Amino acid sequence: MTAILQDRVAIVTGAGSGIGRAGAEILAREGAHVVVVDLAAERAEETVERIRAAGGRAEAKGIDVTDETRLAEAISDIAARHGRIDILHNHAGAQVAGDLEQVEIAGFDRSWSLNVRAHFLASRLVMPIMKQQKKGVILNTSSSSGILYDREMIAYTTTKHAVIAMTRQMAGDYARFGIRVNALCPGWVDTPFNGPFITQMGGRSAIEAYIAEKVPLGRWADVSEIAEPILFLVSDRSSYMTGQILVVDGGETVV
């Protein structure tokens, strides 16, 4: 049986660990050639090694996605070598703790640059390629924090709400070109990404109690439980879906 992403070219940012790595691995498993992008080149290479060990195809790019010049060079290089870009998963992000008075202004700016502006830049750069192909998929990672209040995390929630608005705007503007744009909103996933919030909450036991109380399923998600929705959103399984926000949060947002 042919893999559902056979020979498609996918770019995944922030794919050196956690959800990004799990997403890159499942896309490769389903036949895509995956360009693994991460700020840390060694983590990107680790993901590539894991993909190749499983029989998949991948390459690594260690770049800062907030660097417009480097990002443009990377995307131009990918398009020139592969002749197409079918999937862009904008996943790279940062969690910056603090309420309105506590958050560092530099931290707020860094959060905006990585969580929103970098998504905007990468999407802007691949859009002419996808328009020429008359087909393409962009997936932006938001968060359950993009649709609800998240305790004393103003930088994070502001940027994640913005990602949802940007996703809907892009979807409406580019659907006529055959390009789909959706957003994924993961809830609590057990990765090091949650470090700032865990520290703010008072440690691991405090966050475990918080999740047990706030999440109806009563537990963290494993990265594999987020990888499957990623595959759904970037594949033809969701071919009539654009401008939508898929929340995968163990029921937290229904409470």
Residue 174 among the catalytic residues:
no
Residues 6+ apart with CB under 8 A from 77: none
SS3 call for 100: coil
Q: Among 156, 174, 210, 240, which one carries the catalytic annotation?
A: 156
* SS3 of residue 89 by DSSP: strand
Q: CA dist 125 to 69, 72, 120, 165, Å?
A: 11, 7, 9, 19
Q: Compute the distance between CA of residue 63 and CA of residue 13 in angstroms, rounded to an integer.
A: 9
For residue 226, how far is the Cα from the chain centroid? 10
Give me the phi and psi of 26, to 5 degrees please.
-75, -30
- Annotated catalytic residues are 156
